[in-house]
């Protein structure tokens, strides 16, 4: 199939019918051209790494290198959450997941260096990061990445359905790969 700007978004590798429906209803993206015209809201500097003792109580997005030293499930009003102790040589913070716990628990490696990225919260006298982006440090160093990471428009519905900024970045990358063919 030849690709042009009017090609429906459903045909882009990695999108498929379910994601296409969400992109149409949530962001008005129907075609390759609509996707090309989806510009980032802002960019984040991914060259800076913070130490846990440098974190500020400002709910900022930060990148930290450390290790998971323990994992536990904590009961809450509805269901439970998964909590990981994350340490570097300056302190400890918690990583928290409210959904997808089984898959996350099975994929996490204890005492391996990770690069985590996300928004911090200050809660009960310590920092926490809900649903962080995580990558083993060895993988992180192998990946070519630009210093400035694009942050694309999103909605709560897209996030809840797993269409994260990382997914949007991959879809964009695929669009440019297919467009130059």
* Distance separating alpha carbons of residues 19 and 168, to the nearest angstrom: 11
Q: In this predicted model, what pLDDT tens digit does every residue of 139-148 receive, in sequence order?
A: 887 765 667 7
Mean pLDDT throughout 3-23? 92
Q: Report the percentage of the chain scoring pLDDT > 90.
A: 52
Give the number of other Cβ atoms within 10 Å of residue 84's Cβ: 25
Predicted local confidence at residue 162, as pLDDT: 84
Give the number of other Cβ atoms within 10 Å of residue 127's Cβ: 20
State the span(s) of the chain assigned CATH 2.40.50.140: 47-142
Predicted local confidence at residue 102, as pLDDT: 83
- Please identify, in words, the CATH class of the domain defined by 47-142: mainly beta
Give the number of other Cβ atoms within 10 Å of residue 112's Cβ: 11
| Cα-based angle 28, 31, 32 (whole degrees, multiple of 5) | 120
Average pLDDT, the chain: 89
Q: In this predicted model, what pLDDT tens digit does every residue of 45-88 receive, in sequence order?
A: 788 899 999 999 887 889 999 999 999 998 888 888 899 999 99
| Cα-based angle 70, 75, 76 (whole degrees, multiple of 5) | 125
* Distance separating alpha carbons of residues 47 and 115, to the nearest angstrom: 12
């Amino acid at each position: 199939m030849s690709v042009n700007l009017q090609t429906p978004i459903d045909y882009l590798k990695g999108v498929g019918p379910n994601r296409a429906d969400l992109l149409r209803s949530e962001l008005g993206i129907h075609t390759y051209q609509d996707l090309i015209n989806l510009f980032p809201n802002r960019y984040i500097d991914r060259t800076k790494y913070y130490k846990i003792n440098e974190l500020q109580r400002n709910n900022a997005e930060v990148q930290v290198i450390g290790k998971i030293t323990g994992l536990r499930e904590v009961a809450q009003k509805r269901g439970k959450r998964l909590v990981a102790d994350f340490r570097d040589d300056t302190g400890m913070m918690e990583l928290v997941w409210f959904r997808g716990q089984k898959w996350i628990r099975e994929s996490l490696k204890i005492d391996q260096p990770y690069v985590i990225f996300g928004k911090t919260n200050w809660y009960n006298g310590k920092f926490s990061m809900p649903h962080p982006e995580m990558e083993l440090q060895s993988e992180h160093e192998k990946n070519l990445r630009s210093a400035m990471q694009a942050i694309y428009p999103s909605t709560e519905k897209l996030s809840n359905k797993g269409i994260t900024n990382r997914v949007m970045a991959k879809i964009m990358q695929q669009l440019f790969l297919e467009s130059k063919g």
